[in-house]
Amino acid sequence: MRFIKSRIIELPNLRCLGFASCPLQQTFDLIKIAKDKGEPTTQLCHKTNAAGVQSRWKQHLQSLLLLTVLAAGSGIPMEGSQEMPAQSEIDDNEVIGLPNAENGTSNNEGAESSPTDAVDLAEAFMISKFIRWRLHPFGRDVCPSSADQVYSGLAAGPERAATGGGANYLCLPESPVYDRPQSGVQDRTSRLYGVEYRFDFPSIQSLVEHDVPCAVCESIGRSTVLMVPARPSCPSGWTREYYGFLMAERSIHQRTQYVCLDGHPTYRSGTAAASNEFATMQPVEGICSGTGGGLPCGPYVNGYELTCAVCTK
């Protein structure tokens, strides 16, 4: 297998993609999509301006160094069966020349390189679903317009006064599937409860004691998620998916993770009854101190609820 400068990459009828450092759960999604549509699998990589994605390509290459692509009818090579170049042998403008199904040679040997026309194989990686960002927006059961919805559900967490169990919020699907369950509540178990709103925001006070909805979302083309606390905006170069309020379990209860609640939350209908056995989401206030030991007073105001934003790149 050769690594050469290339303008167009043709993928022959591929059978498998194998990675040494990244377990692959499915075959390359683009190939499946093309086959489902009855399209040839020889021109799956599209042209793109490589200027903005070359650094991402190099990052992905470092973690996915051993890439082996098999033509139909070939055996599956094991790690080390293909001679891989050292990282120093590959520069930002190089892409992988894939082996040709008919003669075993690179299908792009001798092709000229174009900085504005180059195919960035990393972009093809990012289109496939094993490189993605996955998001659990709490407070709504729909995803941002920039994302695909995996499922919607309900927020769940440990009982607020319990000392054991998990410490994170989960987004449970609406319909669970059980495997050999034991009837009744067992003693040697960890218990999961629904999550209720608890806050004193006049504009959304009607949500108090209702259960929190959630959704699981994923997006093609962005692989990093960043939750920015204390600001409703994202750093330059990042895409804001949503913004809202920083939330966690109440300080006198057991600890949970910090999450960003959507600033325009909804609730699960028919869930207004208060209970002593549940998890809660409550606003996070900043506690400042001018003498140390707290957040710096001035930029942070003592007792103000903190905002947040969820960003992707």
Share of the chain above pLDDT 70, in %: 56
Evaluate whether 217 touches 143 at the Cβ level (below 8 Å): yes
Which pLDDT band holds residue 277 (cuts at 50, 70, 90)?
low
> Which pLDDT belongs to residue 120?
44
Residue carrying the six token digits 């178990």: 189
Per-residue pLDDT reduced to its tens digit, 283-305: 999 999 888 888 999 999 999 99
Structure token digits, residue 51: 């200027």
d(CA 294, CA 55): 38
- State the number of CA atoms in the 13 A half-sphere of 62 facing the CB: 8
Element (H, E) at 261: strand 259-262
Domain limits, the chain? 3-127, 133-174+191-312
State the CB neighbour count (10 A cutoff) for residue 222: 20
Residue carrying the six token digits 């059980």: 178
> Which pLDDT belongs to residue 37?
60
Contacts of 257 (CB under 8 A, 6+ apart): 167, 168, 169, 248
> Which pLDDT belongs to residue 47?
32
